Amino acid sequence: MSMTLYEFGPTRSSRARWALLELGAEYESIEDRAMIGSDELKKVHPLGKLPALLDDGRPLFESAAICTWIADCHPEGGLISPSGTWERAQHDQWVAFTLSELEAYLWSSARNTFVYPEEKRIEAVFPQNAMEAKRALGALDAHLADTEWLVAGKFSVTDIITGFTVNWARRTGLTGEFENVQTYNQRILDRPLCPFSKD
């Protein structure tokens, strides 16, 4: 099986990189920010975004889906529970929650800060985005009061996916009032292979 990861630095690509490193999986890395939006990348990701994966020539996109697939391909690595188990339902729950209730708001604020051209940026979204993100962080904080990791009390690919978003929230100054989230964030950053930004 051959895997090629199209990636770019400490962005959402680093979720996929961490999953591959954690499992000791062999893969080819193509790291080129200039590929974003290119016709070549659109063969792997319909929007020409990074990350994207080619697995034996088959394209797969969305960092959470890529991480879940990588973990499923290496069951011996113990990063994910099999489909049909309660633990797998918990994985699906926290991934969906993270992407829709937290990351979507962080991404909207980022787009309106440095991604969109200046004339398209709307500052009015910032307070609402912060409010919604903190609502989601509050729910995560409550869950993390009783457990060190999101699913079944042990480190898993779910923590790679959600950990990235929690770290992003910290870097934008949103985690200050959530003690358990802060401790969890540090636990993520302390993992030896964690490639997320520590600044």
Nearer to ligand GSH, 107 or 126 (CB): 107
Name the minimum Å distance from CB 177 to ligand GSH: 26
- DSSP letters spanning 135-174: HHHHHHHHHTTS-SSTBTTB--HHHHHHHHHHHHHHHTT-
Q: Do residues 91 and 99 make contact, with C-beta atoms less than 8 angstroms apart?
A: no
Nearer to ligand GSH, 65 or 73 (CB): 65
> For the chain, what is the largest distance between any 2 Cα atoms, rounded to a whole number of angstroms?
50
Dihedral sign, Cα of residue 172, residue 177, residue 178, residue 179:
positive
Nearer to ligand GSH, 2 or 38 (CB): 38
Name the minimum Å distance from CB 35 to ligand GSH: 9
CA angle, corner 11, sides to 160 and 46, nearest 5?
100
Nearer to ligand GSH, 48 or 180 (CB): 48
Binding site for ligand GSH (CB under 6 A): 8, 11-12, 36-37, 49-51, 62-63
**The two three-digit tokens of residue 81, written as one number:** 């529970």
Nearer to ligand GSH, 50 or 140 (CB): 50
- Burial bucket for residue 10 (CB in 10 Å: 0-12, 13-18, 19+): middle
Name the minimum Å distance from CB 72 to ligand GSH: 17
Name the minimum Å distance from CB 120 to ligand GSH: 13
Nearest Cα neighbor of 144 from 169, 108, 180 is 180
Name the minimum Å distance from CB 64 to ligand GSH: 6
